[in-house]
Amino acid sequence: MKERAVLTPELFRKLLDWYEENKRVLPWREDADPYHVWISEIMLQQTRVETVKAYYLRWMERFPTVSALAAAEEDEVLKAWEGLGYYSRARNLHKAAKIIENAYGGKLPADKALLRGLPGVGEYTAGAILSIAFGIGEPAVDGNVLRVISRLTADPSDVSKGEVRAALADALRPLMPKGETSAFTQALFELGALICLPKDAFRCELCPLVEDCRAYKEGRQGDFPVKPEKAAPRAEARTVLLLECEGKYLVRKRPSKGLLANLYEFPNAEGKLSEGDVCAFLSDLAGEEISPRKVESLPEATHVFTHLVWNMTGYLVRLSSPKAASLFGADAVFASPREIKETYSLPSAFSAYKKFAR
Ligand code: SF4
């Protein structure tokens, strides 16, 4: 690790003063309730602040406490998460709420080891909850913090390595001022979110730390943080079927493990099927039981997951009998457009086709 002499109490004092003047008004900053901090931190992972605001407010209306979340059905939780992606976050929140309710009387524990024992709570989230909600000097090192600190120190270490993140947390811990741990954590996030932006979007002319920044002095802001190249996501062709009968559309629950687990979907198959292939596929599945009245081609669509890209072809298939539902699994149902909107959680991978279910 490059030496971090640049990280001093004086530097963080400048940062804290800047934060006090410039912090955004955000719904989860209205108080330091541990439940509020926890939910907002999980939502903010991989998701933009502007998107999270509306989800957070709706979530708090629906599940205002840990107890309310613990008592909800999983389908209800997934529905509230619909469109945020990375659904394991929602499943883990639900599982963790049940543990907090049963083991800790509905209150998040102010203890790192206990927090780390909850599903979906890693080093970063534990640090955020402890420092923001409980005033405990535990750093929360996320992508924003890694970017800011690696630029300040011009540190060439590979930030994707766990030991590099742990060493950075160790360097920050003694610098967290007593009574200001919440502002410390949020000031670093805020600088990374508003000023020390990724790639070449840094706004050093507005940065309160510009005089201390080694990357700035060396004109190498864009060289940090150092990370290995990401492998390109694997492309997969899929064909999505909107099976319509009497104004309702067939949706089914996905398996309980793997990609988009337990969410609902329109039936789909691997590969790019032609209209003829679709008819053959349905007839192989059920013979005369689901003879299509009409098959219409829908626009192609793409959805990018972290490691996978779905290149989708779609068809609207009008059926004369609803008997087909049971052929697509025990959870398959014909749902009205309203039920699809309000009850069944369809991930955004199917958004391009959801609008044809009307
Ligand atoms: S001076 Fe520029 S590169 Fe350095 S911390 Fe500030 S915004 Fe980031």
Q: How far is the CA of 185 from the centre of ligand 1 (A)?
A: 17
Per-residue pLDDT of the chain (358 residues; tens, 9 = 90+): 455 678 999 999 999 999 999 999 999 999 999 999 999 999 999 899 999 999 999 999 999 999 999 999 999 999 999 999 999 999 999 999 999 999 999 999 999 999 999 999 999 999 999 999 999 999 999 999 999 999 999 999 999 999 999 999 999 999 999 999 999 999 999 999 999 999 999 999 999 999 999 999 999 999 999 999 888 899 999 999 999 999 999 999 999 899 999 999 999 999 999 998 988 888 787 666 667 778 899 999 999 998 999 999 999 999 887 777 777 888 899 999 999 999 999 999 999 999 999 8
| Atom 8 of ligand 1: nearest residue by CA position | 196
Task: Among 22, 204, 212, 224, name the best residue to mutate to test ligand 1's pocket (greatest count of ligand atoms within 8 A of Cβ).
Answer: 204
Domain that holds residue 84: 9-223
- The rounded distance, in Å, linking the Cα atoms of 336 and 250 is 9
The CATH number of whichever domain residue 301 belongs to comes to 3.90.79.10
Specify whether 261 is located in the same domain as 116: no
Q: Which of 223, 255, 275 is a domain's end point?
A: 223
Q: What's the CA angle centered on 193, arms 187 and 197, to 5 degrees? A: 125
- The rounded distance, in Å, linking the Cα atoms of 209 and 232 is 35
Torsions phi, psi of 223, nearest 5? -80, -10
Specify whether 198 is located in the same domain as 150: yes
* Position in ligand 1 atom list of the atom nearest CA 204: 2
- The rounded distance, in Å, linking the Cα atoms of 62 and 59 is 5
Q: How far is the CA of 165 from the centre of ligand 1 (A)?
A: 19
User: Which tokens sit at 249?
Assistant: 């559309």
| Atom 4 of ligand 1: nearest residue by CA position | 213
Place of tokens 């699994």: 329
Other CB atoms within 10 A of residue 358 CB: 9
Specify whether 42 is located in the same domain as 120: yes
Among 177, 178, 185, residue whose Cα is nearest residue 8: 177
Specify whether 144 is located in the same domain as 21: yes
Q: Judge whether 185 and 140 are in contact, CB under 8 Å.
A: yes
Specify whether 239 is located in the same domain as 211: no
Q: Which of 189, 223, 257 is a domain's end point?
A: 223
* Position in ligand 1 atom list of the atom nearest CA 221: 3
Task: Among 7, 213, 220, 224, name the best residue to mutate to test ligand 1's pocket (greatest count of ligand atoms within 8 A of Cβ).
Answer: 213
| Number of DSSP helices (H) and strands (E) in the chain, helices first | 15, 7
Residue 41 falls in the annotated catalytic set = yes
Q: What's the CA angle centered on 219, arms 146 and 203, to 5 degrees? A: 60
Q: Which of 184, 202, 223 is a domain's end point?
A: 223
Strand partners, 167: none
Structural domains in the chain (count): 2
The model's pTM: 0.85
SS3 122: coil
- Among 3, 10, 41, 50, the active-site one is 41
